[in-house]
Amino acid sequence: MALPRTSPSTLLLGAVLCAATARGEAPVPLDRLALMELGARVYRSSCASCHGFRGDGEGQAARALSPKPRDFRRGAFKFRSTRSGELPVDSDLRRTVARGLPGTSMPGFGGRLDERELDAVVQYVKAFAPRFDEEPPGFQVEIPPLPENPPAPDAGAAAYERAGCGSCHGATGRGDGPSSPGLLDDDGRPIKARDLWREAFRAGDAPEELFRTLVTGLDGAPMPSYRDSLTDEEIWQVVFYVRSLKRPSLLHALFGAREDQEDW
Domain shared by 70 and 157, yes or no: no
Residue 143 lies in a domain: no
Q: What's the total number of domains in the chain?
A: 2
Check residue 253 and give its pLDDT.
47
Check residue 131 and give its pLDDT.
96
Domain shared by 129 and 173, yes or no: no
Q: Environment class of residue 72 by beta-carbon count within 10 Å: exposed (0-12), middle (13-18) or buried (19+)?
A: buried
> pLDDT tens string for the chain (264 positions)?
333 344 555 555 555 555 544 445 554 455 888 999 999 999 999 999 999 999 999 999 999 998 899 999 999 999 999 999 999 999 999 999 999 999 899 999 999 999 999 999 999 999 999 999 999 999 999 999 999 999 998 999 999 999 999 999 999 999 999 999 999 998 898 999 999 999 889 999 999 999 999 999 999 999 999 999 999 999 999 999 999 998 865 544 444 444 333 322
Domain shared by 32 and 78, yes or no: yes
Which residue spans within the chain are E strands per DSSP? none
Domain shared by 194 and 245, yes or no: yes
Domain shared by 14 and 92, yes or no: yes
Among 87, 102, 134, identify where a domain stops. 134
Domain shared by 27 and 69, yes or no: yes
What DSSP string describes 86-144?
SPPPHHHHHHHHHH--TTSS----TTTS-HHHHHHHHHHHHTT-THHHHS---PBPP-P
Among 71, 101, 134, identify where a domain stops. 134
Q: How far apart are CA 232 and CA 155, in angstroms?
A: 13
Q: Which domain holds residue 40?
A: 9-134
Domain shared by 112 and 157, yes or no: no
Residue 4 lies in a domain: no
- Number of neighbouring beta carbons within 10 Å of residue 208: 12
102-128 burial, b if ≥16 CB within 10 A, otherwise e? bbeebeebeeebeeebbbbbbbbbbbb
Check residue 15 and give its pLDDT.
54
Among 103, 134, 165, identify where a domain stops. 134
Q: How far apart are CA 69 and CA 85, in angstroms?
A: 20
Domain shared by 157 and 94, yes or no: no
Check residue 251 and give its pLDDT.
45
Domain shared by 14 and 113, yes or no: yes
Nearest to 110 by CA among 200, 119, 9, 209: 119
Check residue 123 and give its pLDDT.
96
pTM: 0.82
- CATH code of the domain in which 219 resides: 1.10.760.10
